Chains A and B, each alone.
Chain A
């Protein structure tokens, strides 16, 4: 039922996904109990544990939707959705594998040379190989087509020089999917001459320097390439076809549950305190928050359903990311306002830690993966305004 331009169909989880959810919940409960992890806010971008990622791989929960013939598990988008949302809500340390599982793997399967694909994909699925995204640079943020890091043709491959910035998790990754200039910029055709490479971060000439964020934590990096040699077969897809690939990649990653569940752990922990003698304001805030989460989940899951059908709901995905990331800020602002002040001052306990970390991660949610201003521009284009 819909009389508007937007479609977020009802999605009923298949039985397999329900059984899987129970399995994942049990795994998470055991892991937590055995000290396998301490829940963290914004875990998908700030809690890195290769050991944990290996366990997730062993369970068969990485590369879930990828074809079995490439080493994936051939399961549905909805089953993957269940696994990811459960992990996020638990605040589990999923950062190491997040990007490889969400976007690099699918790109490699689609565009890499078969022998490169066969070397990398099974290791991603096993939770033993992690990827970073090398798009942004010191002088290229929203204006991604202006990247200056360049690859020059040499015998048998390419020589790469330049600097990538903000590459999340690169310090713990094996590869970076890197957007490079393979021919000089042309002001009349800005999106041409760009290519994506799979760069082995252990290659000579690569240096990675961690950058502390506002909370003093190191999660993203500056990655420098100095005469780094990349063999021809590590070019992703066509030379010069990088822009289209990047645009598709970003569209794919936009509407997942990580856009509105990064701080769910804060809400859950806060509830333990708020159930005691709640004020009218507390009740109102909780009602408003839950109304929004339910709505966002309906929308995000609806998009997963559309992807399952083979549709590409780009405008819907952009709308979800815009609304969801704004909600992440609203959630923490509202929770903070109804919690007693001593919570933030407390040095022990889960709630103070996740609340503090959550608040300090807030500015990143409307920046990473394309800012909300850029998103709104895309929505306006889809609405026919530009």
Chain B
């Protein structure tokens, strides 16, 4: 990590630790917007981590942004930081000014007649909490980004598995403030892939944090006169959990590095993302199961913080496409390579560029 990267990461971690507390996360689930947390995030420039200095950002490496997202995942931050970063990156790719208000992204599913947007979309993260919406559409003239005021859109509140807003949005003749043609091959599929990678990064952080909580609990909780950590059955399941944490972090890093290097979702980047999002499901399934098993009934309570992580993990494994979606897409790509190119394609990842 670069010097700037370290500063950004440390700043982010400190803010999350101070302001993304269990009470704040629970209050947010119950409808209370964590203004202090959001303000601290905006003031420290974290929402602009992916934006170049020319475009008004902080000029960090894209990887620094992914490190922030891992930290945000580990802290279960109940604000649309990831969504705002994603929306900003897409705005920049369309040559549009990037804002610092809370934003969320809508990918496809709406009708654009050249004047207004119509239609209804589901599962929009933080739909009710954001000021602006960035809509990504593959139109006949190419892919475009349209920025709309969230106030112009009707919100039907829905809670996702994580307890975070996962709202249905109704667009009835919504006139966008701004519109731009997307560059660098960004389109609906690329935005989908970016979303998938963002969820992998958040989940990598959340998995790592859930592992830490689990190890710690196993060393504190005593049964049969010994800490749980001394029972081999639990040692083995926690070791397996560690393996899943290691794997999803490695897969995510590989994809994030490729995106950071290529600065676009080209085929190489897409394949890395497909692999990471495919790999996420088993990691989450196994990891969350062990975390809850080790925590016993205490970890099943609303009061315990474990659910802040596990419920998000269960949601993130599906958002922007589950294993069932991504593995089939990746499988199609692998079949296109064919038997002879399979191995050369796998080794090309470590070739110098």
B191 interface residue per 8 A CB criterion: no
B136 interface residue per 8 A CB criterion: no
Please count how many residues in chain A sit with their CB below 8 Å of the partner chain's CB atoms: 60
Interchain CA distance A180-B74 in the complex, whole Å:
48
Give the residue of B1, B204, B235 whose beta carbon is less than 8 angstroms from that of A377: B235
Interchain CA distance A232-B92 in the complex, whole Å:
73
Asked if A380 meets B328 with Cβ closer than 8 Å, knowing A4-B249, A291-B279, A293-B346, the reply is no
Give residues 17-74 of B contacting A (CB, 8 Å). Answer: 63-64, 66-67, 70-71, 74
Q: How far is the CB of A32 from chain B (nearest CB, A)?
A: 13
A319 interface residue per 8 A CB criterion: yes
B343 x A376 contact (CB < 8 A): no
For B232, what are the chain A residues with a Cβ–Cβ distance below 8 Å? 377
Contact with A along B266-283 (1 / 0, CB 8 A): 000000101110110000
Give the residue of B66, B230, B347 whose beta carbon is less than 8 angstroms from that of A386: B230
B114 interface residue per 8 A CB criterion: no
B331 x A292 contact (CB < 8 A): no
A337 interface residue per 8 A CB criterion: no
Interchain CA distance A70-B346 in the complex, whole Å:
35
B334 interface residue per 8 A CB criterion: yes
User: Which one of A2, A272, A373 has the highest number of Cβ atoms from chain B below 10 Å of its Cβ?
Assistant: A2
A3 x B205 contact (CB < 8 A): yes
Give the residue of A271, A293, A385 whose beta carbon is less than 8 angstroms from that of B229: A385
User: Which one of B242, B326, B327 has the highest number of Cβ atoms from chain A below 10 Å of its Cβ?
Assistant: B242
A383 interface residue per 8 A CB criterion: yes
B219 x A283 contact (CB < 8 A): no
B279 x A292 contact (CB < 8 A): yes
Q: How far is the CB of A59 from chain B (nearest CB, A)?
A: 19
Interchain CA distance A230-B342 in the complex, whole Å:
49
Give B258's nearest chain A residue, CB to CB.
Answer: A10
For A319, what are the chain B residues with a Cβ–Cβ distance below 8 Å? 242-243, 246
B335 x A295 contact (CB < 8 A): no
Give A275's nearest chain B residue, CB to CB.
Answer: B335
Give the residue of B235, B257, B323, B343 whose beta carbon is less than 8 angstroms from that of A385: B235
Give the residue of A18, A275, A282, A299 whose beta carbon is less than 8 angstroms from that of B246: A299
Q: How far is the CB of B183 from chain A (nearest CB, A)?
A: 26
Interchain CA distance A14-B350 in the complex, whole Å:
9
For A298, what are the chain B residues with a Cβ–Cβ distance below 8 Å? 250-251, 253-254, 349
Give the residue of B208, B240, B335 whose beta carbon is less than 8 angstroms from that of A322: B240
Asked if A383 meets B215 with Cβ closer than 8 Å, knowing A1-B63, A267-B342, A323-B243, the reply is yes
Interchain CA distance A295-B254 in the complex, whole Å:
8
B218 interface residue per 8 A CB criterion: yes
Give the residue of A3, A287, A383 whose beta carbon is less than 8 angstroms from that of B239: A383
A294 x B249 contact (CB < 8 A): no
B236 x A295 contact (CB < 8 A): no
Q: How far is the CB of B13 from chain A (nearest CB, A)?
A: 8
A275 x B339 contact (CB < 8 A): yes
For B211, what are the chain A residues with a Cβ–Cβ distance below 8 Å? 4
For A297, what are the chain B residues with a Cβ–Cβ distance below 8 Å? 346, 349
A385 x B247 contact (CB < 8 A): no
Asked if A287 meets B327 with Cβ closer than 8 Å, knowing A295-B250, A377-B235, A386-B235, the reply is yes
User: Which one of B219, B279, B332, B335 has the highest number of Cβ atoms from chain A below 10 Å of its Cβ?
Assistant: B335
User: Which one of A13, A275, A290, A386 has the highest number of Cβ atoms from chain B below 10 Å of its Cβ?
Assistant: A290
Q: How far is the CB of B282 from chain A (nearest CB, A)?
A: 8
A284 x B328 contact (CB < 8 A): yes
B250 x A283 contact (CB < 8 A): no
Give A381's nearest chain B residue, CB to CB.
Answer: B235
B279 x A322 contact (CB < 8 A): no
User: Which one of A2, A282, A385 has the highest number of Cβ atoms from chain B below 10 Å of its Cβ?
Assistant: A385
For B278, what are the chain A residues with a Cβ–Cβ distance below 8 Å? 287-288, 291
B334 x A268 contact (CB < 8 A): no
B238 x A268 contact (CB < 8 A): no
B242 x A379 contact (CB < 8 A): yes
Give the residue of B208, B235, B338, B349 whose beta carbon is less than 8 angstroms from that of A380: B235
B154 interface residue per 8 A CB criterion: no
A316 interface residue per 8 A CB criterion: yes
Give B64's nearest chain A residue, CB to CB.
Answer: A1
Q: How far is the CB of A287 from chain B (nearest CB, A)?
A: 3
For B339, what are the chain A residues with a Cβ–Cβ distance below 8 Å? 268-269, 271-272, 275
A264 interface residue per 8 A CB criterion: yes
Asked if A322 meets B243 with Cβ closer than 8 Å, knowing A286-B331, A287-B330, the reply is yes
For A274, what are the chain B residues with a Cβ–Cβ distance below 8 Å? 335
For A12, what are the chain B residues with a Cβ–Cβ distance below 8 Å? 350-353
A309 interface residue per 8 A CB criterion: no
Interchain CA distance A379-B237 in the complex, whole Å:
11
B256 interface residue per 8 A CB criterion: yes
22 contacts between A and B (CB under 8 A): A1-B1, A1-B64, A1-B67, A3-B204, A3-B208, A4-B204, A6-B245, A6-B246, A8-B253, A269-B339, A278-B331, A282-B331, A284-B324, A295-B275, A298-B250, A298-B254, A319-B246, A322-B240, A322-B243, A376-B240, A377-B232, A385-B230
Q: Which 4 A-B pairs have the closest CB atoms?
A: A287-B327, A283-B331, A287-B330, A380-B235
Using a CB–CB cutoff of 8 Å, the interface residues on chain B facing chain A are 1, 5, 9, 63-64, 66-67, 70-71, 74, 204-205, 208, 211, 215, 218-219, 229-230, 232, 235-236, 238-240, 242-243, 245-247, 249-251, 253-254, 256-257, 272, 274-276, 278-279, 323-324, 326-335, 338-339, 342-343, 346-347, 349-353
Additional A-B contacts beyond A1-B67, A267-B342, A271-B339 (12; CB < 8 A)? A1-B66, A3-B71, A8-B253, A10-B254, A271-B335, A287-B332, A290-B342, A291-B327, A293-B346, A380-B239, A383-B242, A385-B235
